[in-house]
Structure 1
């Protein structure tokens, strides 16, 4: 079994697609023995392009699936929710789901793990530090709490309240 962390974001019909993304990940991966954990939702400006503000969160789950199978599931969920895979990297999104980490695996293929954006984007680092505060980054060996405490980027974001539909194996981190 391996732990997997996901970054989830949307800036088009944000509430709908964030909820749909969490439900889809829950349905794909969660079980009584392995619930899906999600951070609070954060609102932030778009990064890399001028566009509507985003909702972002981080989720994690323990699974026996391979990196390739998880990546295929993420892309299928995105596509089912209107994500245009041919769109420019920095453009509006209905739903974007990125695998951030797979245990402590370090790789460039089939996906980059850990994702470089973990340490550069506040909308990934802050919810990751809240959800898994003592987890260590596989490259730097620092906890995500340490990384967040030392974050010097200029991205502004704020936590928001977003009520999720009750799901049997969903654990929402709203303690902060």
Structure 2
């Protein structure tokens, strides 16, 4: 079994697509023995382009699926919710689900793990530090709390209140 962390974001019909993404991840991965943990939702400016503000959060779950299987699932969920896989990297998104980490795996392919944006984007690091404060980054060996307390970026970010539909194995946990 492996722990997997996901970065989830949307800046088009944000509330709808964030909730849909969490439902899809829950339905795919969560069970009584392995709930889906989610951080609070944060609102942030677009990064890399001028556009509507994003909603972002981080989720994690324990799974026996491989990195390739999880990556395929993420892309399938995105596509089912209107994500255009051919769009440029820095552009509006209905739903973006990125695998941030897979246990302590460090790899360049099939997916970069851990994702570099963990340490550079507040909208990933703050919810990750909140959800998994004592987990260590597999390359720096520092906890996400340590990284967040030393974050010096300029990104504006604020937590928002967004209620998810009650799901049996969904835990909104700020201290996992």
Mark yes or no: TM-score above 0.5: yes
Partner of 1:106: 106
Give the distance between the partners of 1:174 and 1:159, measured in 2 at CA: 12
Describe the superposition over 1:153-172 as per-residue Cα deviations: whole angstroms up to 9, x where unpaired: 00000000000000000001
- TM-score, with normalisation over the residues of structure 1? 0.98
- TM-score, with normalisation over the residues of structure 2? 0.98
Describe the superposition over 1:19-62 as per-residue Cα deviations: whole angstroms up to 9, x where unpaired: 00000000000000000000000000000000000000000000
C-alpha RMSD of matched pairs (Å) = 0.7
Give the distance between the partners of 1:137 and 1:147, measured in 2 at CA: 9
Describe the superposition over 1:111-161 as per-residue Cα deviations: whole angstroms up to 9, x where unpaired: 000000000000000000000000000000000000000000000000000
The alignment of Structure 1 onto Structure 2 pairs a total of residues equal to: 175
Partner of 1:11: 11
Q: Which runs of 5+ in 1 are unaligned?
A: none
Where 1:98 maps in the other structure, the secondary structure is strand
Where 1:146 maps in the other structure, the secondary structure is helix
Matches within 5 A, 1:66-145: 66-145=66-145
Where 2:137 maps in the other structure, the secondary structure is coil
Q: CA distance change for structure 1 residues 174 and 104 in 2, over 3 Å: closer, same or farther? A: closer
- Name segments (4+ residues, structure 1) moved above 6 Å: none
- Is residue 148 from structure 1 mapped to residue 138 from structure 2 by the alignment? no
Q: 1:173 Cα shift? A: 2.2
Give the distance between the partners of 2:132 and 2:95, measured in 1 at CA: 23
